[in-house]
Amino acid sequence: MEEEFTPIEEKKISIFDTFVNLLTSPSELFSTVVKGENRASNYFVPIIASIIAGIIFIFIVFSQPSIQYQQQEMQNNAMQQMVADGKMTAEQFESAVENNPAKPGSPMFMVFGSIGILIGSFAILFLLVLILWIVGKIAFSSQAKYLKTTEVVGLSSYVTVIGSFVTLIFVLGFDSLFAGPNLAIFVNEFDIKNKIHLLLKSIDILMIWYLYILSIGLSALWETNKIKSVATVFSLWGIYLLITIYFGMKFAGS
């Protein structure tokens, strides 16, 4: 009598184990994820965690009077530049400052900030996935599906959750809205109109860690070596920095 063969089901990794494996053995994790079945939890759970971390950050940081003052000063400086450029009258500026219902630290500010994080987190995730999916197809002839790319990008964002809490500690410790694990921490008085200061702030240890983890995931997804994947991801990041610094200075009135 021929013995029946029962296929062994692929063991599903728990969310906690997935998080731990991302930090300890990302290459093995992404190799398993890329070859495995689609799992919505691989991107849905990290993005929800990122949103929660971001909202916690807003409520704690902007409950500090000194941080509220720094944020208000930034807004005032931006509007004063608009007055200088003729885009706003002095009366409109005074009215905007006095009658603003969403002043930093106010309930409306917290609500708008939380909504912004909620919408922005999903928008950034799927826009980034779209860009990387297209880059993979063009540069590496990748056959990876959009949703599988979403899983890789989503899992990598666990690092940004850690980054939110680390940055929170820096902001509270240095009592500065611009503090964080970046090179700008060595700047005495941060100036958002200074492109060097903006560049230094962008060179963030945790961001570099996130990009490296993402590169490992994309290497498995695109079926290419890590050097090419790292070079591609960091090149895209460099382009992003140039664009954001340019428009950041424009917004600041530089």
Instruction: Give the span between the Cα atoms of 173 and 175, in whole angstroms.
Output: 6
Q: What is the rounded average pLDDT of the residues 66-82?
A: 86
8 pLDDT above the threshold of 70: no
Confidence label for 246 from pLDDT (cuts 50, 70 and 90):
confident
Count of Cβ atoms closer than 10 Å to residue 189 Cβ: 8
Give the contacts of 214 (CB within 8 A, at least 6 positions apart): 152, 153, 156, 233
pTM for the complete prediction? 0.85
Q: Which tops the pLDDT comparison, 236 or 251?
A: 236
Span 215-235, pLDDT tens digits: 999 999 999 999 999 999 999
Predicted pLDDT of residue 253: 47
Q: Which tops the pLDDT comparison, 61 or 102?
A: 61
Predicted pLDDT of residue 208: 95
192 pLDDT above the threshold of 80: no
Q: What is the rounded average pLDDT of the residues 85-106?
A: 82
| Burial tier of 17 (Cβ tally within 10 Å: 0-12, 13-18, 19+) | exposed
Predicted pLDDT of residue 5: 39
| SS3 assignment, position 204 | strand
Predicted pLDDT of residue 96: 78
Q: What is the rounded average pLDDT of the residues 203-215?
A: 95
